[in-house]
Chain A
Amino acid sequence: MSGGAVARGRTRRWLAMGAGMLAWGCASGGRPPAGAGGRVARFGFGRPAPADLVAAWDIDVGPDGAGLPPGRGTPEGGAQVFATRCAACHGPTGTEGPYDRLVGREPREGFPFGRSPRLRAMRTVGNYWPYATTLFDYIRRAMPQNDPGSLTADQTYAVIAWILYRNEIVGSGAVMDAGSLVRVRMPARGRFVRDDRTGGRVIR
């Protein structure tokens, strides 16, 4: 591209961005450079993100299922994955530790965790986690702790199926995949509220 073409391209971008930039004019977060005629512009630092880099790093899974890969797994298959890859830290049945307890529905009534500090160690996937999709997101990004990201998609779906089955949330024959996982309704789903602290005289 000739220098003139680059300059024309930049001018078009500035013009296209003008309306959006006006909306940001009052924001205090950072300083944009001044462009021609006082119009703000970009610095042009950085490089366009390569598609393969985005694909490799974009590992999150949202509550709407966005980001879930193809694959499937059942509690039966997950039992084997759990025994070999997870049980050393979470215990043979997901309750013994030494690290986080994963299985357990007690206390079944009332979500009383705010009332007693003794209940903190009793939090599990079954009684506290509001979204099943978080299991896929977290296992893929961080588990097993000694080799994060090493489970295949099928293994991940399978171990999730096992954890949900052990928590009495899905049946023993459940098949977990991108379609079914997002439809799982977690027992604690309705318990979470947005922060209502505002400052001022009220203690919350």
Chain B
Amino acid sequence: MTAAISASGLVKSFGRTRALDGLDLSVDTGAIHGFLGPNGAGKTTTLRILLGLLRADAGDVQLLGGDPWRDAVALHRRLAYVPGDVTLWPELSGGEVIDLLGRLRGGFDARRRASLLERFDLDPTKKCGTYSKGNRQKVALIAALASDVELLLLDEPTSGLDPLMEAQFREIVMEERAGNRTVLLSSHILAEVEAVCDRVTIIRAGQTVESGTLAELRHLTQTSVTAELAGPPSGLAELPGVHDLQVDGTRVRCQVDAGELNAVLGQLTAAGVRNLVTQPPTLEELFMRHYRTDAQAGDDPSRGHPEVAR
């Protein structure tokens, strides 16, 4: 399979801030690729480099077989972009903006436009100045989805959408899978990415930390277990898939891999459960753990030890 996007060693600094610090990203043609990271990780900067709006300080980047900086106009005929914070011209109506952006891109499907308007429940006659954030987001999404392009670059496209519209968006992206379009979906909502993406790249502080299929990354989805027991537990440490075990008398805390939950619960009930809380980890917790591991191992001297840095 060929790569629709391949970037390696991307570096981009804004003054003293290093937004990208050797980022790698590879997106296969036809894949729906999740691009995950907390706020400020460099997702938007990466997308802007892919669009040729920013020029990388170092690194190689190829988009649809071209150079995004040099061949911007030719490449943009073949892609559509939805920015994370959509701003539109207040004096134009939503319908006008959808048509204008579609025409500037080189044409769009009028039937698809009509059906998307209906599915997203958007009134195209309102002036953009009076739209809410969610409605502005819908305008940009419809303009992008209605155009007949090979690649969709979506930067946190569901921020501002209500849950109903979010579900609608997921459904539409799932349909794109059948249409053989490539989608790069930047997000910080793990559930959204899990629901629609084939492959995922996770970045932090301008660097790629994980990249692979969801199955490969499944180990990231550990469940956090906190239990209050009748007596002290036994045998938990020996079980496979148990991490970060803390036993404090009859209180137990640990992280458990998705497949191993049953065995852990068996050991807990054997000791007698008084109270039990289980919780899937948030994305933030995953990143926090990456951060802690780095700091303890001291494998990145440039970053420094948090205690020392403070």
The answer to whether A binds B is: no
